[in-house]
Amino acid sequence: MKQKIVTVIALITCLFVAGAATAGSTKSTIKSGVWRGVLEMQGLELPFNFKVTTDAAGGYDIQIMNGEERLRLDEVRITGDSINIALHIFDANIKAKIFGQGDSLSGVFIKNYEQHYQVPFHAAHGKGYRFAKVNFNANEPDYSGKYAVKFIHETDTSDAIGIFKQQGNHITGTFLTTTGDYRYLEGSVVNGMMSLSAFDGNHAYLFTANKDGEGKLLGEFFSGLTWTEFWTAEKDENASLPDPESLTYLKPGYEKIEFSFPDIAGKKVTFPDVKYTGKVVVLQIFGTWCPNCMDETVFLSHWYNVNKGRGVEIIGLAYERKSDFSYASGRVRKMIDVLKVPYAFVIAGTNDKEKASQTLPMLNKVMAFPTTIIIGKDGKVRKIHTGFSGPGTGLYYDQYIERFNETVNALLKESVN
């Protein structure tokens, strides 16, 4: 009898230990559906939305939602009670603990290429609103329209165009500047104040504004850990910016672009080269850290797939956050893989605009990422376009595509003597 009791106790002990080991190794899960994420930035809350789905293998896909945009994140790793989300093509992650029934997250947003860049992050499942739940309060002011905008940072000012569309208290829009646009902004109008935000996996933007008695907008702009600007705006259907084809140009005495940079495998690429003779060539000055560059890369990838048989080539000149070749080429490789980019890239330098300008001394300066240079069959520079108006700008994006196609089509018709 004593032997039986000892055997039963031993069996129970083994089952308990096995059960405890299983419980300790259980991986947490997160709920599918729409979430509301919040970055705690400069003492403020910057909200954004994302959607979680499970794939056929039981893994997770996450889509960041900014207005009409969906950025797919498919590198999601859960270990124990923690989740690590790689943020699209960017060298950044969200790392968080999973709480409750997989319906709450708390952690940090990290930029890996910057020392000590961590922003507190938390998220809740089942909340599809951004700043406030959508309603149709007729008493809220309507911010819809086109505005002439002035940004003010200390003693510096810069012009922009604001475009907003409001339905009820839900509002979307963007700002266009001489170096690019702020992409897909989304938010609410609550108690008279407009709030717009965007998070693309690398940049976090928060805009707020109120109307004064004459309809002028008085606002603030917050970005990252420390950047703050004031801004004012007045409705103006004729608001405009300088011609983007006039800002970056060749210095006197130059007609062509010349460079010698390594490709992502380390092999030296020289331009001009015999392989480009008699072709129209598009040079894209860009960086994988730059959301406007991402938008342009998506456009150029699709365009090149359609037009590559017509005698055109594209070369991307990458200016990355670090000068280390292994790091820079690794970031470009990831972008090529995620965005399925079909054209060639070289590693040209770092994202410091002054240093970037030194790598292309025939230009007056590199003032924006991206900058697009279009070269004719004769090897001469024909157009230089500073910045990029992406799909979040609507009509401006359509006009850019039309202008780009007109330019390339005209150059393809030229004969080479």
Task: Kindly tell me if the per-residue pLDDT of 409 is higher than 70.
Answer: yes
Residue tagged 């207005």 (tokens): 67
What does pTM read for this prediction?
A: 0.91
Task: Kindly tell me if the per-residue pLDDT of 9 is higher than 70.
Answer: no
Q: What is the mean pLDDT of residues 61-86?
A: 96
pLDDT at 138: 66
Pair 42, 154 in one domain: no
Spell out where 309-416 has E strands.
312-320, 344-350, 371-375, 381-386
Pair 278, 380 in one domain: yes
Boundary (domain end) residue, out of 125, 158, 179: 125
CA angle 226, 231, 235 (to 5 degrees): 150
Whichever domain contains 371, its CATH number is: 3.40.30.10
pLDDT at 17: 37
pLDDT at 8: 41
Q: What percent of the chain has pLDDT over 90?
A: 89
Task: Kindly tell me if the per-residue pLDDT of 226 is higher than 90.
Answer: yes
pLDDT at 137: 67
Pair 270, 224 in one domain: no
Compute the distance between CA of residue 157 and CA of residue 227 in angstroms, rounded to an integer: 14
Pull the structure tokens for residue 213.
Answer: 């008695």
pLDDT at 136: 62
CB atoms within 10 A of CB 138: 7
The answer to whether position 202 is within a domain reads yes
pLDDT at 121: 98
Compute the distance between CA of residue 207 and CA of residue 90 in angstroms, rounded to an integer: 23
Task: Kindly tell me if the per-residue pLDDT of 19 is higher than 60.
Answer: no
Written in H, E and C, the secondary structure of the chain is CHHHHHHHHHHHHHHHHHHHHHHHCCCCCCCCEEEEEEEEECCEEEEEEEEEEECCCCCEEEEEEECCEEEEECCEEEECCEEEEECCCCCEEEEEEEECCCCEEEEEEEECCCCCCEEEEEEEECCCCCCCCCCCCCCCCCCCEEEEEEEEECCEEEEEEEEEEEECCEEEEEEEECCEECCCEEEEEECCEEEEEEECCCCEEEEEEEECCCCCEEEEEEECCCEEEEEEEEECCCCCCCCCCCCCCECCCCCCCCEEEEECCCCEEEECCHHHCCCEEEEEEECCCCHHHHHHHHHHHHHHHHHHHHCEEEEEEEEECCCCHHHHHHHHHHHHHHHCCCCEEEEEEECCHHHHHHHCCCECCCCCCCEEEEECCCCCEEEEEECCCCHHHCHHHHHHHHHHHHHHHHHHHCCCC
- Give the list of residues 6+ apart from residue 400 with CB closer than 8 angstroms, or none: 385, 388, 389
Pair 97, 177 in one domain: no
The answer to whether position 252 is within a domain reads no
pLDDT at 369: 98
Pair 265, 407 in one domain: yes
Pair 93, 190 in one domain: no
Pair 319, 389 in one domain: yes
pLDDT digits (tens, 9 = 90+) for 248-293: 999 999 999 999 999 999 999 999 999 999 999 999 999 999 999 9
The answer to whether position 203 is within a domain reads yes
Task: Kindly tell me if the per-residue pLDDT of 3 is higher than 80.
Answer: no
Pair 371, 266 in one domain: yes
The answer to whether position 25 is within a domain reads no
pLDDT at 13: 40
Boundary (domain end) residue, out of 75, 97, 125: 125
Task: Kindly tell me if the per-residue pLDDT of 134 is higher than 80.
Answer: no
Pair 327, 380 in one domain: yes
The answer to whether position 19 is within a domain reads no
Beta strands at 193-199 and 204-211: parallel, antiparallel or unpaired: antiparallel
Q: Residue 212: left if φ>0, alpha if ψ -120 to 50, beta else—which one? A: beta
pLDDT at 7: 43
Determine contact, residues 174/160, Cβ cutoff 8 Å: no
Pair 155, 112 in one domain: no
Strand partners, 81: none
Boundary (domain end) residue, out of 80, 96, 125: 125
Task: Kindly tell me if the per-residue pLDDT of 18 is higher than 90.
Answer: no
Q: What is the mean pLDDT of residues 127-138?
A: 81
pLDDT at 1: 46
The answer to whether position 41 is within a domain reads yes
The answer to whether position 248 is within a domain reads no
Q: How far is CA 294 from its chain centroid?
A: 6
Q: What percent of the chain has pLDDT over 70?
A: 93
Strand partners, 41: 44
Domain of 389?
A: 259-413
Residue tagged 């009670």 (tokens): 81
Q: Would you place residue 62 in the very low, low, confident or very high pLDDT band (cuts 50, 70, 90)?
A: very high
The answer to whether position 254 is within a domain reads no
Task: Kindly tell me if the per-residue pLDDT of 158 is higher than 90.
Answer: yes
Q: What is the mean pLDDT of residues 111-124?
A: 96
Pair 214, 83 in one domain: no
Say which amino acid occupies 68.
E
Whichever domain contains 198, its CATH number is: 2.40.128.120
Number of domains composing the chain: 3
Pair 116, 153 in one domain: no
Task: Kindly tell me if the per-residue pLDDT of 407 is higher than 90.
Answer: yes
CB atoms within 10 A of CB 24: 8
